[in-house]
Structure 1
Amino acid sequence: MSNLSILQLPLDILVNIMTNLSFADLRNVMLTCKALRDLILANNSIWRLISRDCRERLILHNSSDNSQTLTLSWYNRCRISHNWCRGIYRSKVVIYHQINYMPWLKFHESQVLFLSVGSNLQCYPNDKKGLPNCKTTLWKLQVPTVKRFDVRTDDISRFVVKNNFIVCGNRDGCVAVYRMENPRRKPYLLHHLIDCHENGQVEVSAVEIVNSTHKPCIVTASDSIATLRFWSITPDINGTNGVTNSRSVCTNEINLGDNVGVRCVALNSTESKLSIGPNGNSKPLLLDINTSKLVLTFESTKNIKQAVRDVRWHNENIITFVTHSGMLQMLDTRTGNLVYEAIDPFQSTLYCVKSDGVNSILVGSSEYSRCVLFDARNPAHHVQMYFTQKKSSPIYSLDFDSTKLIAAADRSIAVLNFNINPYTVETRDYSHAFEFVNR
């Protein structure tokens, strides 16, 4: 009988053996000795294959608009993914205020948290664990506002951050454009667009930036009128930083037909197509930026009771969007067909959506401060639900990376940390399928 040990085999042969084991067998091998355990934990190729073959592995990447490079090993990615799918996390409300708002947030490159509350835009750093530290602000500013004598507020509706620009759409009908040299430093006001639509009588509900690397072109839309406007901003490089040293002109105005208005817009990564979430339709529109013509219109799905509340690009060809009726759908822009369709477990209205560009999709619901995780490979039912806060509220905005979820409710912001030991917290598993019974 040979006295050779399995540990004496060449490393590539050992790794090949491990990749052919089931997950349960691999766990048992890790329990046999420290050498095999360290080998398995440190080898990324083993866990990369496990994550590829196992359908339960989700949130292995950051959100699709987060370009931060992941430094986690593939073992830790799979471990944290297990926590996402099983409802194993530690939650904390990091910001609380007494007044109801509709906040918007962005966890910029997993480094700083941008948050709009009312007419204020705030930036928070991370702590040593990589979680937003909302006890201190890096900077805070109030966007310029215009007094309107109606029921509207002067709150920020949405903002977008691209390259070195921050563009804030405001409910008073104006837009503030900021230049940002460093996310950790306070940006300066480049231009204040006043009365963007209907002489300022309607709010700006959606904004986007085109050609943000050079002279920015701002896209504005309102949920009250079916018109898109493109604004060219020309900074005065001879002047000092300020509002008076820039000029704006409306270079293009596109009428969207008999749609009621626009809730949201999103530009693809090549800046060639703009997806538009309209009121009065259950599917988004698609605009070709180069020709200024609508490529997809979906006349057959027009319905005054419907609305696309949020829209994102899952990849270069597929749009992910959520509707007022609680539907999460994915649309292939090449064919105009739906390639994925799921519904909220409680059939509640969905307010926001984000994906990792692979298989994971997170949505924010209108009830119970609830976020829902879906798998793009399985439209039958959701993967997991997260009740982010005790108070019942819509989730107006969310963002995530591979280890954490940040959700904005009407009076608070919550952070859910999934990079934890599963034995230190109680599992909150709401992956069960619900059945509606009419009595």
Structure 2
Amino acid sequence: MFSLLGLPEEILLLIFSYLDSQALGRLGQVCRRLHHFAGKDAAWRRIARGCINSGFTQQGADTVFGISVKERVKVSQNWRKGRCSRGTLLKWKCNLMPWIQLDGERLYISQAKDIRAYQLRSDNNGLHRRPVAIFSAHQDDVCRFVLTNSHIISGGGDGKIGLHKVHSSGSLQFSAHDQDVNCIDCQGGVIVSGSRDRTAKVWSFSLGRLGQCLHTIQTEDRVWSVAISPLLSSFVTGTACCRHISPLRIWNLESGQLMTCLGTDFLRGAGVLDVFYETPFTLLSCGYDTYIRYWDLRTSTRKCVMEWEEPHDSALYCMQSDGNYMIASGSSYYGVVRLWDKRVKNCLHFYSLPSPTSSPVYSLRFSTKCLYAALASALHVLDFTSTDLQIRS
């Protein structure tokens, strides 16, 4: 008589990989051996790749470690259905324009002139109130910063770029622009900065040439956002769109020459506040014109391939993608965070985060478990692993 349990392990897992979550759940209740196989990552990968924020990219690469794929599929259902707990992690007295980054179990947030690193708690996704490190290199507020493996690179309102070693107190700075350094990115031994002074600059981040300016690009408009291509061949600038120039332009990283402009029908004032590459050929942008736009450079540079409109006509200050189907965006009024599925036109869910006054969501970041959003006077968390979590402010 044929026995399912008599099949080789690899054949059994192959069969399981074609089942849906309901069938896998039922099989897992039959016996211990089937329960063991029904919980393996290989059985859940196909399902997870179709879920939002499950840790898989469009190409199928798994970017999350330490959490089973089955557990991520379960949490993904909470993201899709909007089930989460809310909490306030930090408050401060004066209004700021904070920027945040996540790196494993640490959250980094700019607060005025400093960047503070906080350790996240493993029990309830809160954070330890005392920062594990404070990085200072500016005489004015930090505008934005990025993380590399060993450094934090920051741009400040003092026109300077700060370089901070993540695991030590060492910091240095150098003069970069005549006005605020609004945005910054760093990859592959180069730094790109953009400023209110209507220039973008490329800097060396290699040993022996640290801080050397390689190119100065006259953008003829204030630069609000920059992003370096994963291929390290080009970078994109998002500008204020105060003139008859496309706010999205791609430049050659080696020569500094203009390669192409994206779009043809931007309205005056439709500045791009956030932009980033998902892949070497696709990027997302958002800004004052209330749209998230998805660009595929392989198909067209004149028109985006998809777009999603903020329904309350609010500017979009920031966004993040899971590299697959989900986008989270932060709006300019009432602390509104929205979750989007690229496969549908309307947003999945929105959350209005509490604030003493109407505040933009200046920055947001999410993991497979939580979303963190920084408003003018507080840092908030939406926890999608538990619906009864309470975090005291």
Query: Is residue 413 from structure 1 mapped to residue 379 from structure 2 by the alignment?
Result: yes
Tell me the equivalent position of 2:37: 39
Do the aligned residues in 2 keep the contact of 1:393 with 1:410 (CA within 8 Å)? yes
C-alpha distance in structure 2 between counterparts of 1:46 and 1:249, whole Å: 51
Q: State the one-letter code of the partner of 1:126.
A: L
Of stretches 397-406 and 280-289 in structure 1, the one that deviates more from structure 2 is 280-289
Residues 159 and 9 of structure 1, relative CA distance in 2, 3 Å threshold: closer
Tell me the equivalent position of 1:73: 68
Tell me the equivalent position of 1:222: 195
Query: Is residue 193 from structure 1 mapped to residue 197 from structure 2 by the alignment?
Result: no
C-alpha distance in structure 2 between counterparts of 1:157 and 1:134, whole Å: 24
Report matched runs for 1:12-161 at 5 Å: 14-15=12-13, 18-31=16-29, 36-41=34-39, 43-52=40-49, 54=50, 57-61=51-55, 69-108=64-103, 110-129=104-123, 131=125, 133-145=127-139, 154-161=140-147
C-alpha distance in structure 1 between counterparts of 2:42 and 2:212, whole Å: 53
Of 253, 261, 284, the match for 1:289? 253
1:95 Cα deviation (Å)? 0.6
C-alpha distance in structure 2 between counterparts of 1:249 and 1:290, whole Å: 14
Residues 247 and 338 of structure 1, relative CA distance in 2, 3 Å threshold: closer
Tell me the equivalent position of 2:186: 209
Residues 47 and 119 of structure 1, relative CA distance in 2, 3 Å threshold: same
1:299 Cα deviation (Å)? 7.4
TM score, norm. by length of structure 1? 0.77
Question: Alignment partner of 1:368: what SS?
Answer: coil
1:339 Cα deviation (Å)? 1.8
Question: Alignment partner of 1:374: what SS?
Answer: strand
Query: Is residue 251 from structure 1 mapped to residue 214 from structure 2 by the alignment?
Result: yes
Do the aligned residues in 1 keep the contact of 2:216 with 2:256 (CA within 8 Å)? no
Question: Alignment partner of 1:306: what SS?
Answer: coil
Q: Structure 1 runs of 4+ off > 6 angstroms?
A: 233-236
Tell me the equivalent position of 1:170: 156
Q: Which runs of 5+ in 2 are unaligned?
A: none
Question: Alignment partner of 2:313: what SS?
Answer: coil
C-alpha distance in structure 1 between counterparts of 2:313 and 2:6, whole Å: 57
Of stretches 86-95 and 386-395 in structure 1, the one that deviates more from structure 2 is 386-395
Q: Which runs of 5+ in 1 are unaligned?
A: 146-153, 237-245, 427-439
TM score, norm. by length of structure 2? 0.86
C-alpha distance in structure 2 between counterparts of 1:17 and 1:247, whole Å: 54
Of stretches 338-347 and 383-392 in structure 1, the one that deviates more from structure 2 is 383-392
1:233 Cα deviation (Å)? 6.5
Do the aligned residues in 2 keep the contact of 1:359 with 1:376 (CA within 8 Å)? yes
Q: State the one-letter code of the partner of 1:116.
A: S
- Bigger-Rg structure (1/2): 1
Tell me the equivalent position of 1:343: 309
Tell me the equivalent position of 1:331: 295
Residues 141 and 44 of structure 1, relative CA distance in 2, 3 Å threshold: closer
Q: State the one-letter code of the partner of 1:127.
A: R
Residues 274 and 351 of structure 1, relative CA distance in 2, 3 Å threshold: same
- Count of matched residue positions in the alignment of Structure 1 and Structure 2: 381
1:132 Cα deviation (Å)? 5.2
Tell me the equivalent position of 1:149: none
C-alpha distance in structure 2 between counterparts of 1:358 and 1:250, whole Å: 35
Tell me the equivalent position of 2:351: 386
Q: State the one-letter code of the partner of 2:37.
A: L
Do the aligned residues in 2 keep the contact of 1:283 with 1:301 (CA within 8 Å)? no
C-alpha distance in structure 2 between counterparts of 1:397 and 1:321, whole Å: 14
1:157 Cα deviation (Å)? 0.6
Do the aligned residues in 1 keep the contact of 2:339 with 2:348 (CA within 8 Å)? yes
C-alpha distance in structure 2 between counterparts of 1:286 and 1:124, whole Å: 35
Residues 299 and 407 of structure 1, relative CA distance in 2, 3 Å threshold: closer
